[in-house]
Structure 1
Amino acid sequence: MNKETSTLRSLANIIIRAVDSMERAYVQAALPLPSLDKFYDPGEHAEALAQDPQVVAASKNLVAACAQISATVWNPRRVVINHAHAYQISSCLHAVSDFNVVEVLREAGENGASVNDIGEKIGVDSGLIERILRLLATHHIFREVSPGVFANNRISSTLDKGKPSCELFKNRETRFVGSSGIAAFAEHTADMGGKSAQYLAGSLRTPGLLPFNLGYDTKEPIFEWMERPESSYHVNRFAVAMPGTAAMEPEDLIFRGFDWSALACESVIVDVGGGIGHVSLTVAKKYPHIRVVNQDFASPIQISKAHWKECFPEHLDQRMVEFQVHDFFNPQPVKNAAVFLLRHIMHDWPDDKAVVILRNLREAAQQETHLVVIEKVVPFASTRTPDDSKMCPIRGAKPPVAEAPLLPNWGAAAADIYLYDLTMHALLGGIERTAQGFYELFAKAGWKLIEIHQSAGTQMSHIVGVPA
């Protein structure tokens, strides 16, 4: 038996063991495995079980092994050309969400709707919408019930904004308000991220300009561009999209790392660049003795006030939450913070700018202040790791590794972290960092990295620092 045949058999065995593990978990719970053809309902017991660490681990091995088998056995020329065409998937995903197709199909029921009915309701040529939906259905997003008749499935239904389609068509500006944020995040990524990414090669030949600058013909950074009055739709969509990133994570992720319960009564959390403050709100709901200062630009702060008033009015009434319009590139005004919390902030910026943000926090910090950065920590795709003795004493700095012959980072099962990385570069010049990258970044800004909490079932980590 040659090496490649042996590798193929090893991957197949990983798949068999993973299937056995998943089936065992669902049999023991007397639950069916969630069906691809059914509507996604995160409240169902079967979907809740899908977040169980044992099931997540099995799913991760399945996805990684299946993708590696496909890459091993499929025609490599077809593989590379299919990847070159992959932009069509994101553009079609954007189109069906933008025209509220998921909601139209939800109203049609399990038997779906014909492309003629869909086209008439959304005002789009039925032949084109059929081609768009068939491409997505071929990638298991939607299902073609019968020729030219489509229905939602477990994947497409995650884009449901939860409103009647007629209401969504009436007011485009507010169509995402009250939704899970998944559709907003998918549209933001496929729209602005996708358009910018097409200019990656061109930007490599144009020093000083990002793909976003070339794609949108502007020299302004994206956040300045979004402050324009004509960019209000993008701003509102982005504000809802940020909680959408949380919807893809375990509900208790914020409590799977830093110990918020250890904070004394009326300790202050500063949610730096907190958007609408959904993360600090989650902490405050569980530990209402904690004060919150939510900081961001004026537009998201206005949305934040309404969000807190709706979701946690008690904290407002007791004056335990404050809203500040603040640019984190300026000196930090809060001098009594117990915790500076930054979720999805560091990956927006290259190292030189990220250092400025963290140094401003360090200058405002007390000796007992903690820095909690919630980000992805990038693993290597190589079986060889750098020999870095300074990382050894840091708890959690060594990532878990997949079993051979899988790629040590689980390959396709972890591919989204690298997709995010290049999206951050395209839009902002940002970067997803390795553990070593965070260590060096903290050190440059006067912080000492002391621990990385890596939680099972998610790529997000709590990266904790203290004043150096």
Structure 2
Amino acid sequence: MNKETSTLRSLANIIVRAVDSMERAYADAALPLPSLDKPFNPEDPAEALAQDSHVATAAKNLVAACAQISATVWNPRRFVTNQGKGVRSCSPIDKPPTDMKSKYNMSSCLRAVSDFNVVDVLREAGENGASVNDIGAAVGVDPRMIERILRLLATHHIFREVSPGVFANNRMSSTLEKAKPSRELFQSRETRFVGSSGIAAFVENDGEVGGKCALYLAESLRTPGLVPFNLAYDTKETLFEWMEGPERSYHVNRFASAMQGTAAMEPGDLIFRGFDWSALPRESVIVDVGGGIGHESLTIAKKYPHLRVVNQDFASPIEFSKAHWKKCFPEHVEKGMVEFLGESTFDHLHDFFTPQSVKNAAVFLLRHIIHDWPDDRAVVILQNLRKAAGEETQLVVIDKLVPFASTGTLADSKMSAIRGAEQQVAEAPLLPNWGAAVADVYLYDLTMHLMVGGIERTVQGFYELFAKAGWKLVEIHQSPGTQMSHIVGVPA
């Protein structure tokens, strides 16, 4: 048996063991595996079980092995060119929209069906679906184009073609629902994401802004000082400055909802799978730096209402945040346990590039913030927080950690001593980083560069960044089933 045949057999064995593990977990819980053909229901106990660490690990192995087999046996020329056209040989089953985001055909089709509220029209049509003529009439689009778009997506298991030219939602497409009657969505474009999970907002924002920026990656490499966003939108402003223009309130609100959507892609209790918020004394202050609507700090406050929250961001998202908190946790607002601070001008680009106004907070929380900025700018943010920190202040950065695609350990003894820093490695012959099963972290990395010149970092990257800003990285909490980590620092 030659090496490649042996590799195929080893990968097939990994698939069998992963399937056995998943079937056993669902059988023990007396639950069925969620059906691909049925709409996604976040309240379904079977969906909750999918976030269990053992089930998530089995799914990760399954996705990685399937993708590696596809790459091994497929015609390499077709494989490469189809990747360029936006076709994947295998897609992670837990987060399809995010893993498609740098594939222009898939991304543009996902954006189109969300932009025209096709998912919500099909939700109202029910499990038998609707014909492309009826869909086209409801959304005001040529039914022939609707058919072509939906068939491409259905071929990749997003939507279901019930019969020729008749489509219905499935587990994948239904994640794009906006939770409103379709007539309301067409009446008010400005508010159509309010009350939604944020997944549709994420897909649309990424498909529009990220898609345009991706076209200029090569050109930007020849243009030092500019990122693809600058070339795509012919501006010297950053994305954040550009969005604050008076005519772009829609983009700001969509972006805020999209950030909520990033949380919806992760386990609901992720914020509690790391840093111990319960250990903070009563009346401790958590500063949610660049918190958007304050989704994460609101989740913390609901579980630990004895904690105070300060939500900081631009003026527009802060107004959105006030409404969100009043709707979701009015008691905290009424008791004065949450404060909203917004920067109304761009004199200093953003609030966190100026001295931090809240001193001696218990925790400075930065979720999906540091990855927005290159090292020199990220250091400024962290230095401002360090200057405002007390001796007991802790820094909690929630971001993705980029794993290596090779074996090996952290060579620096200082980093290897950090609790939780060691990278987990997949069993051979899988790629050490689980390959396609974690592809979204690398896609995020490139997307951050495309839009804002940011970067997703390795453990070493965070270690060096913290040290430059006066913080000491002391602990990392990595959670199975997600690339998000709690990266904890204390004053150096």
Q: Name the TM-score class by shorter chain.
A: over 0.9
Describe the superposition over 1:338-390 as per-residue Cα deviations: whole angstroms up to 9, x where unpaired: 10000000000000000000000000001110000000111000124452222
Describe the superposition over 1:194-238 as per-residue Cα deviations: whole angstroms up to 9, x where unpaired: 111111011111111111111111111110000111211111100
Q: Alignment RMSD, CA only? A: 0.8
Matched, 1:138 2:155: yes
What is the aligned counterpart of 1:239 among 250, 256, 279? 256
Give the match for residue 202 of structure 2: 185
Aligned amino acid, residue 391 of structure 2 = Q
Give the match for residue 65 of structure 1: 65
Residues in 1 aligned to 2:411 and 2:278: alpha-carbon distance in whole angstroms: 36
Q: Where do 1:304-323 residues align within 5 Å?
A: 304-323=321-340
Matched, 1:255 2:272: yes
TM-score by length of 1: 0.99
Give the match for residue 22 of structure 2: 22
Matched, 1:432 2:449: no
**Structure 1 portions without partners, runs of 5+:** none
Aligned amino acid, residue 355 of structure 1 = V
Aligned amino acid, residue 462 of structure 1 = H
Residues in 2 aligned to 1:235 and 1:179: alpha-carbon distance in whole angstroms: 16
Give the match for residue 460 of structure 1: 484
Give the match for residue 372 of structure 1: 396
Matched, 1:126 2:143: yes
> How far apart are 1:282 and its partner, in Å?
0.9
Residues in 2 aligned to 1:147 and 1:10: alpha-carbon distance in whole angstroms: 39
Residues in 1 aligned to 2:420 and 2:399: alpha-carbon distance in whole angstroms: 14
Give the match for residue 274 of structure 1: 291
Give the match for residue 343 of structure 1: 367
What is the aligned counterpart of 2:446 among 395, 419, 422? 422
What is the aligned counterpart of 1:165 among 178, 182, 185? 182
Give the match for residue 40 of structure 2: 40
Give the match for residue 3 of structure 2: 3
Residues in 2 aligned to 1:385 and 1:127: alpha-carbon distance in whole angstroms: 54
Describe the superposition over 1:246-287 as per-residue Cα deviations: whole angstroms up to 9, x where unpaired: 111111111111111111111111100011111111111111
Aligned amino acid, residue 330 of structure 1 = T
Residues in 1 aligned to 2:150 and 2:327: alpha-carbon distance in whole angstroms: 37
Residues in 2 aligned to 1:76 and 1:166: alpha-carbon distance in whole angstroms: 46
Range moving further from structure 2, 29-38 or 8-17: 29-38
Give the match for residue 119 of structure 2: 102
Aligned amino acid, residue 451 of structure 2 = L
> How far apart are 1:146 and its partner, in Å?
0.9
Give the match for residue 347 of structure 2: none
Matched length = 468
> How far apart are 1:166 and its partner, in Å?
0.9
Sequence identity of aligned pairs in percent? 79
Matched, 1:296 2:318: no
1:163 is paired with a residue of what secondary structure? coil
Aligned amino acid, residue 246 of structure 1 = A
Residues in 2 aligned to 1:420 and 1:40: alpha-carbon distance in whole angstroms: 24
1:308 is paired with a residue of what secondary structure? helix
Residues in 1 aligned to 2:277 and 2:58: alpha-carbon distance in whole angstroms: 30
> How far apart are 1:336 and its partner, in Å?
2.2
Residues in 1 aligned to 2:320 and 2:238: alpha-carbon distance in whole angstroms: 22
> How far apart are 1:17 and its partner, in Å?
0.2
> How far apart are 1:123 and its partner, in Å?
0.8
Aligned amino acid, residue 389 of structure 1 = S
Residues in 2 aligned to 1:225 and 1:373: alpha-carbon distance in whole angstroms: 25
